[in-house]
Amino acid sequence: MYDIWEIHVPFSDRWCTTQRVGAGSADIVGMVDLEECGRRGLTLGSKRVDFAIDREGAIHDLYHPWESLPSSFTDIACKLHQAHLKRSWPCIALKASPAKLLQGHNVYGSSNAAVGILELLAAFARALPRVAEMLDWGNAHIRRVDVTYSIQLPDAETLANCLSAIGNLSHRHLRAAKEADYESTIYFNRRSQDQQDAGRTRVLVVYAKHNEMQHQCEHLKRAARTEKTSRYDPVIKKLEDPELNAFAANRLRFEGRAFTRWFERNKIPRNVWQFLTFVGHFESDPANEGMSFCEWAWRDLFSEMFAALGATKVSLTQNSRVQEQLRKHYGRCKLITNDDGTITEKWSYARADRLMLFYRSLATDGWDKTKRLTASSTFYDAVNCLLAIGLTKAQLQNLKKRQTLKLLHLIRMDFDAQRPASYVEPVGTVLDKQGDILSIGDKFGRGFVQSFGQSREQLIQNAVGSYVDLSAAEASVQHLLAGRPLRINDNEQLHLAVFDDGSFELIRGDIFAYHEKHDITVPDQRTPAYGSDDELLDDFAAYIGTKSAPEFDVRSYAQTEHHKLSIILDSLRSQLADAEQDPDKIATAVRLRERITHTKRRLDRLWFWAHRATDSRGRNIKQGEKQCLV
């Protein structure tokens, strides 16, 4: 399952100002207005406040600390990173467990990358919608991903012995960290003060899941009491579920944390939308035999560890269970009467502990040596006591032979048994049941869908292909981009609408009805009327400054001129966009608008000539050209 996603979403260009921080060409960074972010909902901090005599303060050095944003179950960690020399553009960092967001716990969860990532982004957009408007969702990229799988061990004693054996591992760059969050957790390659360069590619964690879950539950209960709130109750209820605790008991989890360098070394795209496309291709490739990307990533992260654990042995003695039974059968209770008349129970486990020492002697020294070193009456008395709690004589005689086993024989990962049989895959609030990624454009802005590794022309061609055949779709893309409709039948046509964020939408039907519905001004697109083909040829010949002739190829000239004029129009639009940003260039912007209007009229006439002329001369028209006729 995917346990953690950390995603960085940069701010859009229009919310940032560029600054030079050095002499080099790359020493230009973008800075976002933190005060504006604070007005939109982020909780900011200040490193310095100056107060004047009139008690009015001036704040300096604003920053945004890690902040918790409420979600359906657990919170999302959020932080604004301002630009600096190593980060040229400001961004919002989001970090959360997709399983906790969707179901309240991460004992088990989904291996669907799209569900977890999109739920994280959607939860942030719901929590801070005005800040979400400032972000460039199309360039969101992955900073870290945690993948985890676990095994069920027979008892807590075996689990502790496995952790002890794994903690002694030392292989190449794999070293167990000296510090850990809990006693039942082991980190490999974790960055510390002594090892600042560790953990830049990956970090491996091995821990007892049930212990970690109990710590989390206790922390939430303390937080609920301190804050006097009931917002943690749904998560606490989930964590106290008996079925969930039974599944997590004696479960050893192997968690791999992959960072930026791991993605780069494996040539995996970090852009969120390109990554989702990559995962889709990977999981649908027959060569991978149905393996999920999550499983492949986990195998890659832990490949060196499991290779190094080849000959490691682990003890299989069940000391804790035996000690529990001995104390239950041979513990003695003494009743003590207090001064106030109450009675207190005082238990003594001296005999039970002596029998436990005898059991450990059998495990370490064996039956024969223990019998030789112990008095006969004492030996058989202790044996009879052990037999009374359910152990057999054969078990005691072979206790030394059966106390170790190769660790890899015990740790056999079953990738199909990571969730209970009753588990239902979560869908979330973003993806529909068909998993249509393109359907979430309304949640993050239409522009992001163009970052799926395809150009806008390719996406338009794919969209048009659902209405006409592929060959016609390929020929129609440039016509749509030029602003002309695409006829798909006698009564309907397609129009291309391009929005300010660079995204597009295909509109089917009557474009004038669409303009009227959305109150859009319809430009004047009158086409010239010709009484005969000769008039059309004469008009075009006059346009290009030559004489009309029967062998004159109007279509070729018109298409060439149309292409040249389209390039000029794009250049004029770019100049207009720059001029509109400068108050001193208002007059220039007005002149550019007039030139653009005149150029568009010329393009309309060229378009008409390029297609009517071909028809008037009786030339063969391709299917793709027919569908582009106005």
* Mean pLDDT computed over 322-337: 84
The pLDDT confidence band at residue 214, using thresholds 50, 70 and 90, is confident
Distances (CA, A) of 155 to 114, 161, 389: 36, 10, 18
pLDDT reading at 84 higher than 60:
yes
* Mean pLDDT computed over 144-160: 86
What does the alpha-carbon distance between residue 374 and residue 248 come to, in Å, rounded to a whole number? 42
Residue 520 near residue 571 (C-beta atoms within 8 A)? no
The DSSP annotation for 281-307 comes to HHHH-GGGTT--HHHHHHHHHHHHHHH
User: pLDDT at position 327, please?
Assistant: 86
Q: Residue 2 is which amino acid?
A: Y
pLDDT reading at 441 higher than 50:
no
- For residue 57, the cross-strand partners are 51
User: pLDDT at position 344, please?
Assistant: 84
Of 487 and 514, the one with more pLDDT? 487
* Mean pLDDT computed over 201-230: 86
Of 181 and 376, the one with more pLDDT? 376
Distance of CA 327 to the CA centre of its chain: 50
pLDDT reading at 19 higher than 80:
no
* Mean pLDDT computed over 578-601: 72
pLDDT reading at 593 higher than 50:
yes
Residue 178 near residue 236 (C-beta atoms within 8 A)? no
Least confident range of 275-289, 379-393, 490-504: 490-504
Query: How many Cβ atoms are within 10 Å of 351's Cβ, its own excluded?
Result: 16
pLDDT reading at 309 higher than 50:
yes
pLDDT reading at 60 higher than 80:
no
Query: How many Cβ atoms are within 10 Å of 273's Cβ, its own excluded?
Result: 23
Of 164 and 117, the one with more pLDDT? 117
What does the alpha-carbon distance between residue 224 and residue 311 come to, in Å, rounded to a whole number? 47
Helix (H) or strand (E) holding 61: strand 57-63
pLDDT reading at 487 higher than 90:
no
Show the CA angle centred on residue 538, arms to residues 537 and 541, nearest 5°.
Answer: 85
- For residue 406, the cross-strand partners are 313
- % of the chain surpassing 90 pLDDT: 8
Query: Average model confidence (pLDDT) for the chain?
Result: 75
User: pLDDT at position 527, please?
Assistant: 47
pLDDT reading at 259 higher than 90:
yes
User: pLDDT at position 363, please?
Assistant: 80
pLDDT reading at 209 higher than 60:
yes
* Mean pLDDT computed over 457-464: 67
Residue 150 near residue 418 (C-beta atoms within 8 A)? yes
What does the alpha-carbon distance between residue 29 and residue 88 come to, in Å, rounded to a whole number? 4
Distances (CA, A) of 21 to 31, 35, 85: 11, 21, 8
Helix (H) or strand (E) holding 3: strand 2-10
Of 384 and 169, the one with more pLDDT? 384
Strand order across the 493-498 sheet: 486-487, 493-498, 504-508
Residue 136 near residue 450 (C-beta atoms within 8 A)? no
What does the alpha-carbon distance between residue 612 and residue 555 come to, in Å, rounded to a whole number? 8
User: pLDDT at position 307, please?
Assistant: 80
- Strand duo 174-175 + 45-51: pairing: unpaired
What does the alpha-carbon distance between residue 188 and residue 203 come to, in Å, rounded to a whole number? 6
The pLDDT confidence band at residue 263, using thresholds 50, 70 and 90, is very high
Least confident range of 160-164, 217-221, 559-563: 559-563
User: pLDDT at position 619, please?
Assistant: 41
Of 508 and 150, the one with more pLDDT? 150
pLDDT reading at 223 higher than 80:
yes
The pLDDT confidence band at residue 535, using thresholds 50, 70 and 90, is low
- 463, 469, 475, 476 alpha-carbon torsion, rounded to 10°: -50
The pLDDT confidence band at residue 213, using thresholds 50, 70 and 90, is confident
The pair of three-digit structure tokens given for residue 392, joined into one six-digit string: 């057999």
User: pLDDT at position 255, please?
Assistant: 92
- % of the chain surpassing 70 pLDDT: 66
Residue 105 near residue 213 (C-beta atoms within 8 A)? yes
Distances (CA, A) of 333 to 323, 330, 345, 347: 17, 10, 6, 4
* Mean pLDDT computed over 166-190: 77
> Could you give phi then psi for residue 191, rounded to 5 degrees?
-70, 135
User: pLDDT at position 588, please?
Assistant: 75
> Could you give phi then psi for residue 272, rounded to 5 degrees?
-55, -45
User: pLDDT at position 183, please?
Assistant: 73
Of 148 and 469, the one with more pLDDT? 148
372-426 pLDDT, tens digit per residue, is 888 988 999 999 998 888 888 887 887 776 656 666 666 777 888 888 888 888 7
Distances (CA, A) of 83 to 18, 35, 132, 337, 487: 10, 15, 18, 72, 49
User: pLDDT at position 557, please?
Assistant: 62
Least confident range of 20-34, 372-386, 451-465: 451-465
Q: Residue 347 is which amino acid?
A: W
User: pLDDT at position 361, please?
Assistant: 86
Cα dihedral 173, 175, 179, 183 sign: positive
Least confident range of 12-21, 252-261, 398-407, 534-543: 534-543
Show the CA angle centred on residue 259, arms to residues 254 and 260, nearest 5°.
Answer: 160
